[in-house]
Structure formats: C-alpha cells, structure tokens
C-alpha cells in the first residue's frame, strides 16, 4: 500500500468501515510510515475535538409544533366525539387482529420462539463484543474450527466476490442446543448464519420473516436448519441466501 491509498483508507479505518484485509494492510503501512502515522493521529484528534465541541443543533420547539400542526389532521382527531369513535374502531380492529394473531401464534408458536431466539442470538453477538470465536476470511480455517465443537460440519462458503465478506465463526446456542454461527459482513451490516443440526428433517424452501426490525431467511437442507439474520433489507438477505446455496452446490 502506498501513501496515496493510505491517505484515503485511513478515513474508513477511523470510521470503522474498513474490512479486515485492508485494515491489516493499512496498519502494516502505518507502522513503517511516520508521515501517515502522524496524519492518522491528527485526524483522530480532529474527530475527538469535533465530538467534544458539540456541533449538533436542536430544532426549535416552534418548528416541531408547526410540523405536527401541518401534518394532515387525522379524521379521528377532528372532534372529541370522533376521537372516541376512533378509539372504538381501533379497539375493534385490535380485537380482530389479536384473535388472528392468536391462531397464528398457536400454530406457529414453536417456529416463532426459535425465530425470537435466533434474533436474540444475533443481537447478543453484536452487543457483547463476541461476534467471532474464530476470525478468518478463509473458509478452510472457519469450517474445521467447528470440529469437535459440534456433531456436524457446518457449511461455510466464501462470498466475498458477491459482496458478502466472511468474517469468521462462533459457537452459539439456540433452543438450548449448540449451533454454528457463520458471520458475514455486507458493507457495514453483519449477517449471522445459524446452522443447527436437524437429523432427518426434510429440505425446505427459504422463507423470509422479520422480527424487531431484523430480517430472517430460514431454510433447511441436508439435515440442517439454517437461519440468516441481519438488519439488511429482505431483498439483499434473500440474495445472500441464494448465493450461499449456489456456492455450496458448486
């Protein structure tokens, strides 16, 4: 890496947007280049100074009130009586929705619970600084790591060329059973791919669900249940799953 490249990429490093490979190259360059090292320090200081200075503005109260006033007044808010009518209609709607929900919950209780668990496991992995147990962009490092930790070998595909960078793997627990979590990154978004052994289960096509703002693509193949969880949009997550499945078939 030369100084020109470093002078751009160091900003991605400062912003936490640089992938592991480039970050390593950049750090190697900086270790040997006093000029770039000094510049990086200065930009860190500038950033700190900007944070300390408090550069945000607070919207005037009058602006907030004015926007709220100008948004089309909902019919329900037109008069006190219609507000009450609105509440009644809302309650009736909720009752219908709730009964529908009940049927759905009863039928899919188990699926939803597991869905909740994979989303929780995804969130934990982001919060607890415990994203990966094995850090590598090489599937020949990630896959063997699970030997002896799980009774199945999870599928691991390299999808860097398709825009999904393999970051590593982690042992996690879903439904009180150990599962493999393969971790990918799409730009700044993390995708956790959970693989749980499900011996004898039939292959099933992918379904897309969402929970708490996270999308989950779920499918089964070769005696494994798989869930890809991320905050990227449903189309991209679907694309990830398709690329992953295609890569394994090769």
Partner 1 sequence: MMAGGASDLSDGGRAERFKALALPHLDDVYTLARYLLRSASDADDAVQECYLRAFRHFDTFRGGPVKPWLMAILRNVCHAAYAGSARLVFTADGADESQAAPIWREHGDTPEQALLRRNDSDTMRRLIGELPAEFREVIVLREINDLSYRDIATVIEAPIGTVMSRLARARGLLREAWMAAEGDGEAP
Does position 64 interact with partner 1 (CB under 8 A)? The reply is yes
Does position 84 interact with partner 1 (CB under 8 A)? The reply is no
At 65, list the tokens: 């009130």
- Which residues in the 179-198 window bind partner 1 by CB under 8 A? 187-189
In angstroms, rounded to a whole number, what is the distance separating the alpha carbons of residues 186 and 191? 7
In angstroms, rounded to a whole number, what is the distance separating the alpha carbons of residues 213 and 229? 11
Residues whose CB is less than 8 angstroms from the CB of residue 184 and which lie 6 or more positions away in sequence, other chains included:
159, 164, 165, 166, 167, 190, 191, 193, 240
Does position 77 interact with partner 1 (CB under 8 A)? The reply is yes
Does position 53 interact with partner 1 (CB under 8 A)? The reply is yes
Task: Check if the beta carbon of residue 230 is closer than 8 Å to that of residue 183.
Answer: no
Specify the stretch interacting with partner 1 by CB under 8 A; choose among 28-36, 150-158, 164-172, 207-215: 207-215
In what order do the strands lie in the sheet containing 165-174?
Answer: 134-135, 165-174, 177-186, 189-197, 224-230, 214-221, 204-211
Closest distance to partner 1 from the beta carbon of 240 (Å): 15
Q: Give the contact letters, 103-142, x = binds to partner 1 (CB under 8 A), - = no.
A: ----------------------------------------
Q: Is 160 exposed, middle or buried (0-12, 13-18, 19+ CB in 10 A)?
A: middle
Specify the stretch interacting with partner 1 by CB under 8 A; choose among 57-65, 102-110, 147-155, 171-179: 57-65
Does position 210 interact with partner 1 (CB under 8 A)? The reply is yes
Please say which residue, 36 or 195, places its beta carbon nearer to partner 1.
Answer: 36
User: Residue 210 is inside which H or E element, if any?
Assistant: strand 204-211
Closest distance to partner 1 from the beta carbon of 92 (Å): 12
Closest distance to partner 1 from the beta carbon of 64 (Å): 6
- Computed from CA positions of residues 243, 225, 136, 2, in that sequence, does the dihedral angle turn out positive or negative? positive
* Closest residue by Cα to residue 154 from 189, 186, 179: 179
Does position 54 interact with partner 1 (CB under 8 A)? The reply is yes
Does position 60 interact with partner 1 (CB under 8 A)? The reply is yes
Q: Give the contact letters, 7-46, x = binds to partner 1 (CB under 8 A), - = no.
A: xxxxxx--x-x------------------------xx--x
CA atoms within 13 A on the CB side of 112: 11
According to CB under 8 A, which one of 165, 192, 215, 225 is a site residue for partner 1?
A: 215
Residues of this chain that interact with partner 1 (CB under 8 A) are 7-12, 15, 17, 42-43, 46-47, 49-60, 63-64, 66-68, 70-77, 86, 89-90, 187-189, 210, 213, 215, 233-234
């Amino acid at each position: 890496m030369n100084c020109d490249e470093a002078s751009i990429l160091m900003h991605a490093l400062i912003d936490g947007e640089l992938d592991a490979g480039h970050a390593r190259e950049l750090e190697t360059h900086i270790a040997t280049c006093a000029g770039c090292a000094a510049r990086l320090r200065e930009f860190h200081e500038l950033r700190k100074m900007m944070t300390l200075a408090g550069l945000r503005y607070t919207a005037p109260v009058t602006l907030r009130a004015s926007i709220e006033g100008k948004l089309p007044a909902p019919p329900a808010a037109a008069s006190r009586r219609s507000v009450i009518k609105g509440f009644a209609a809302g309650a009736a709607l909720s009752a219908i929705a709730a009964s529908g929900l009940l049927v759905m919950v009863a039928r899919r209780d188990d699926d939803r619970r597991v869905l909740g668990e994979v989303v929780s496991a995804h969130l934990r992995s982001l919060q607890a600084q415990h994203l990966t147990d094995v850090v590598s962009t090489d599937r020949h490092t990630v896959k063997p790591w699970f030997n002896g930790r799980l009774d199945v070998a999870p599928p691991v595909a390299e999808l860097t060329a398709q825009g999904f960078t393999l970051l590593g793997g982690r042992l996690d627990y879903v439904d009180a059973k150990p599962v493999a979590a393969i971790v990918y990154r799409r730009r700044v978004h993390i995708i956790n791919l959970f693989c749980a052994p499900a011996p004898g289960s039939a292959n099933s096509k992918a379904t897309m669900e969402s929970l708490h703002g996270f999308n989950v693509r779920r499918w089964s193949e070769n005696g494994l249940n798989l869930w890809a969880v991320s905050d990227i949009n449903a189309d991209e997550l679907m694309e990830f799953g398709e690329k992953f499945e295609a890569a394994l078939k090769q």
